Amino acid sequence: KDVIKIENNNDSETKHDLYDCVFEFCQEEKLEGSNNYLCDKCKVRSQATKQMELYKLPKYLIIHLKRFIRDTSSRRAGMFLKIKDKIDFPIESLDLSTLINSNASDIAKYDLYGVIHHRGELSSGHYYATC
């Protein structure tokens, strides 16, 4: 899980909320099976958990959504598929105050200034911005 975990059903009508994506990013993740943790010191793989936490939020927040996922089906194993799910972005006041793990930040609400879109597939396409 790089940024968010979204089930890839290639249903372009599936919608998610940006807050829920950030919330999912902050949840504990089990590292097991082929995703086991590799210890840098002893080079041994073992089960583990990891969790991202927000301690202080920046003045300007940039969020990158993971839009490609490795296909694990036997038919196309190893290929990447584009996640076509729609993400609802609030124009004003994205409130992340419930996700901050300390009182260190008084900045917790964000207004949307722009979005960078990708049109195409993993190997080709174009990026364009909307502000």
So where are the chain's domains?
A: 54-130
pLDDT in tens, 65-121: 888 887 777 676 677 888 888 888 888 899 998 888 776 556 788 999 888 888 888
Report whether 94 contacts 115 (CB < 8 A): no
Who has greater pLDDT, 2 or 107? 107
Query: HSE on the CB side for 23, CA within 13 Å?
Result: 10
Instruction: Report yes or no on whether pTM surpasses 0.75.
Output: no
Q: What is the pLDDT of residue 2?
A: 32
pLDDT at 33 over 80: yes
CA atoms of 129 and 86, how far apart (whole Å):
17
